[in-house]
Amino acid sequence: MKKYNVLVVGGGSTWTPGLLKGMCSRKETFPINRLVMYDIDYDRQQTIGEFAKVLFNEEYPEIDFSYTTDKEEAFQEDIDFVFVQMRTGGYAMREKDEKIPLNLGVIGQETCGPGGFAYGMRSIRDMVELVKDVRNKTKDAWILNYTNPAAIVAVALQQIFPEDKRILNICDQPENLLRSYGRLLDMNERDFDPVYFGLNHFGWFTHLYDQEGNDLLPKLRKTILEGGFRPADYEQRDQSWLDTYAMVEQMVQDFPDYLPNTYLQYYLYPDKVLNKLDPEFTRTNEVQAGREKRVFEDCARVAEAGTTKDSNVVENDAHGEFILIVAESIAHNKGNNFVVILKNDGIISNLPDDAMVEVATSLTANGPRPYAVGEIPTFYKGMIEGQYAYEKLTAEAFIEGSYSKALQALTLNRTIVSATKAKEVLDALIEANKEYWPELR
């Protein structure tokens, strides 16, 4: 079997150990020849890179592995897959994305609302550079991107590189939800055939077929309404994630047609969610005290001890496995079904062609072959159109350096609504993001 050359960008991410473990467990189905990890932060990359050496020595000695902060070493002509998971500005800026809006009385969240806007405006710049760095060396490599906000990154990359058919933006949340349904029903998520529509972090499952062709959605709806909803890996989750999943019950009660993505809580109940968020201690603080601390301490310990024995570093294996099974389906033209982000072009027939939608597709060597969704009902169409306009205006605000488009974007966002508030938040975010954003005029 062909062996693949993989580059991980953002190799110092908290999610990297899970990805590396996934590479070990999938080496028969997705064999890797050379793996390079690249990051701009040497210390983060070194800690994870030294962990990787110990892990591979034990489980994958045949892999040709290295890590670097040098672009020349990282970007090579024979790369097959680039896995991207960078965070421009790091957790320091994520904290501002959350706290600045919260202190002004609106939702502050990594990917939704004004926090997602601020993060998007930072990510676009580095993601455009990344695509250019890869394409300077090879037109053939698949760029599989996790970098958030994937919705906005997808819209911007589509506008800037419209002809590039080998950039695929993905999100692990539909996969997390499928696994959670699987745990509720005592079934394996790979045995589900899901129907899903929407935008990234803004979508709904409409059907979930089993292998006998039964639609399990009615049963799931009933189970959730009777007993609530938890993530598949709830034993390992922080309280804020448990609260987020619990909100699915409320959403299903109020809008019982479909099963919602958890991120819809910010748009459907901004007032209620806002009351639960603490501007003094946000998700960033929780991650830094939790996942980030555990991952970096554990990786350092493994490197020091020279063995992964007693290490428990993987946080949520769905994340690492998902990008690998996506790559596998492309590499081997398997045509497996995955929910991914792609240009609408009629998939959802009553939405604009240029929207970057998230839907079920068959993933092949020729990329995602989407399953048609057809027309969606008025409520969902209205919600998505508003959100898509926000995403598009955000990308255009970046590309054109336009203050008025930025203001329009934030005014359209359901987490804000008031133009006065939008302006106040925008001005504060501009001040905080001077180093990262283009000048908005």
- Contact residues for ligand G6P, defined by CB under 6 A: 110-111, 148, 171-173, 176, 283, 287
Least distance in angstroms from the C-beta of 409 to ligand NAD = 19
Residue 172 bears catalytic tag = yes
- Asked whether the beta carbons of 426 and 406 are under 8 A apart, the reply is yes
C-beta closer to ligand NAD: residue 5 or 148:
148
Which residue out of 263, 266, 380, 388 is catalytically annotated?
A: 263
Choosing among Mn ion, ligand G6P, ligand NAD, none, which partner's interface includes residue 86 (Cβ < 5 to 8 Å by kind)? ligand NAD
Total residues found in the chain within this entry: 441
Side-chain-side CA neighbours of 395 within 13 Å: the count stands at 23
Which of 39, 80, 172, 298 is the catalytic position? 172
Footprint of ligand NAD on 88-117 (CB under 6 A): 88, 90-91
Of 12 and 108, CB closest to ligand NAD: 12
**Minimum Å distance from CB 287 to ligand NAD?**
7
Residue 261, classed as helix, strand or coil, is: coil
Instruction: Give the contact letters, 261-300, x = binds to Mn ion (CB under 5 A), - = no.
Output: ----------------------------------------
Residue of 26, 41, 138, 337 interacting with ligand NAD (CB under 6 A): 41
The dihedral over CA atoms of 29, 30, 33, 38, expressed in degrees to the nearest 10, equals -150
Contacts 24+ apart (CB under 8 A), 285-292: 285/95, 286/238, 286/240, 287/14, 287/91, 288/91, 290/238, 291/14, 291/315, 292/14, 292/91
Does position 284 interact with ligand NAD (CB under 6 A)? The reply is no
d(CA 23, CA 20): 5
Q: What distance in Å separates the CA atoms of residue 19 and residue 324, rounded to the nearest whole number?
A: 8
Report the residue from 74, 79, 112, 171 that binds Mn ion according to the rule CB under 5 A.
Answer: 171
Q: What angle, 0 to 180 degrees and rounded to 10, lies between the N-to-C axes of helices 403-412 and 419-432?
A: 120
Distance CA 366, CA 165 (A): 9
Residues that bind Mn ion (CB under 5 A): 171, 173
Residues that bind ligand NAD (CB under 6 A): 9-10, 12-15, 38-41, 44, 85-88, 90-91, 126, 146-148, 150, 171-173, 319
Q: Which residues are catalytic?
A: 172, 263
